[in-house]
Structure 1
Amino acid sequence: MAVELNADTVRRAPKVLLHDHLDGGLRPQTVLELADAAGYCGLPASDSDALGRWFRQAADSGSLVRYLETFAHTVGVMQTPEAVHRVARECALDLAADGVVYAEVRMAPELLLPGMPLEAAVEAMLDGYAQGSRDAAEAGTPIRIGTLLCAMRQDDRWDEVAGLVVRYRDAGVVGFDLAGPEIGFPPDRIPSALAVLDRGHGHRTIHAGEAAGIDSIVAALDGAGAERLGHGVRIADEVRDDGTLGPVAQRVRDEQVTLEVAPSSNVQTGAYPSLAAHPVDRLHRLGFAVTLNTDNRLMSGVSATSEITDVATTFGWTWDDVRAVTERALAGAFLADAERARLLDQVVRPGYAALQA
Structure 2
Amino acid sequence: MTIVKAHEVEGLIRRGLDPRIGVILVYGPDTGMVFDRAKRLAEAFVADPADPFALVKIDGDTLAQDAGRLADEAGTVGLFGGARTIWVRPGSRNYAPAVEAVLGAPLVDTRIVVEAGDLAKTAPLRTLCERSARALALPCYPDDERALAELIDRTLQESGLRIAREAREVLAASLGGDRRASLGEIEKLALYAQGQGQVSLDDVEAVVSDVAGSVLNTLIDAAFAGRTAEVERDYRRFRHEGMDPSVMLGSALRHALTLLSTRLANERQSAGAMVATWRGLHFKRKPIVETQLARWSPPALRHVLRLLQEAVLACRRSDAELAHAQASGTLLRIATEAARRG
TM-score normalised to structure 1 length: 0.24
Higher-strand-fraction structure: 1
Q: Specify which structure has the bigger relative contact order, considering alpha-carbon pairs within 8 angstroms and separated by 6 or more residues.
A: 1
Asked which structure has the greater CA Rg, the reply is 2
